[in-house]
Structure 1
Amino acid sequence: MAVANSNTILHPKIPAAQSVIAGNIADLLKIPLGTNHDLFQVVDICQRYADELIEANNHAEYIALCGRLLAGLNVLKAVLKLPLPDYLIERLTLDENNPDEYHRSLPTDSETTCEYCFSLTMVLLNQQATMDQQEHIAELLFELLTTLAEDLKAPRFIRTENGLAMIGGEVIPAIH
Structure 2
Amino acid sequence: MNTENNFAHLYSEFSLKPDLPVLVERCKLLVEILLDCNSLPQTQPVCRCLGAYLDAVKEGLAESMSDFRVVEFEDEQPQHKEWLLDDTETKCDYCRALNHVLLISHFDRDMLPHLTGLLHDITHSMADDMVVPRCQNTVVHLIP
Paired residue secondary structure (1:128): coil
Q: More helix by proportion, 1 or 2?
A: 2
Where in structure 2 are the equivalents of 1:26-175 lying within 5 Å? 32-33=13-14, 36-57=17-38, 59-83=40-64, 109-154=87-132
- Quote how far apart the aligned CAs of 1:79 are: 0.8
Aligned partners of 1:141, 1:128: CA distance in 2, in Å? 17
Query: Partner amino acid for 2:20?
Result: L
Residues 30-39 or 61-70, more deviating = 30-39
In the alignment, structure 1 segments of 5+ residues that lack a partner are 1-28, 85-106, 156-176
Query: Partner amino acid for 2:18?
Result: H
Aligned partners of 1:40, 1:151: CA distance in 2, in Å? 11
1:63/1:129 Cα in 2 relative to 1: closer, same or farther (>3 Å)? Answer: same
Aligned partners of 1:49, 1:39: CA distance in 2, in Å? 15
Runs of 4+ more than 6 Å apart:
none
CA contact 1:34–1:75 (8 Å) conserved in 2: no
Look up the match of 2:7.
none
Paired residue secondary structure (1:146): helix
1:35/1:147 Cα in 2 relative to 1: closer, same or farther (>3 Å)? Answer: farther
Give the TM-score, by structure 1 length. 0.53
- The C-alpha deviation readout for 1:85-129, integer Å capped at 9, x for no partner, is xxxxxxxxxxxxxxxxxxxxxx95211110000000111112322
In the alignment, structure 2 segments of 5+ residues that lack a partner are 1-9, 66-84, 134-144
Aligned partners of 1:109, 1:35: CA distance in 2, in Å? 27
Decide which structure has the larger Cα Rg and report it: 1
1:78/1:34 Cα in 2 relative to 1: closer, same or farther (>3 Å)? Answer: farther
- The C-alpha deviation readout for 1:36-84, integer Å capped at 9, x for no partner, is 1000000000111111011024654321001111111111101112238
Count how many residue pairs are aligned between Structure 1 and Structure 2: 105
Give the TM-score, by structure 2 length. 0.63
Which protein has greater RCO, CA pairs closer than 8 Å, 6+ apart?
Answer: 2
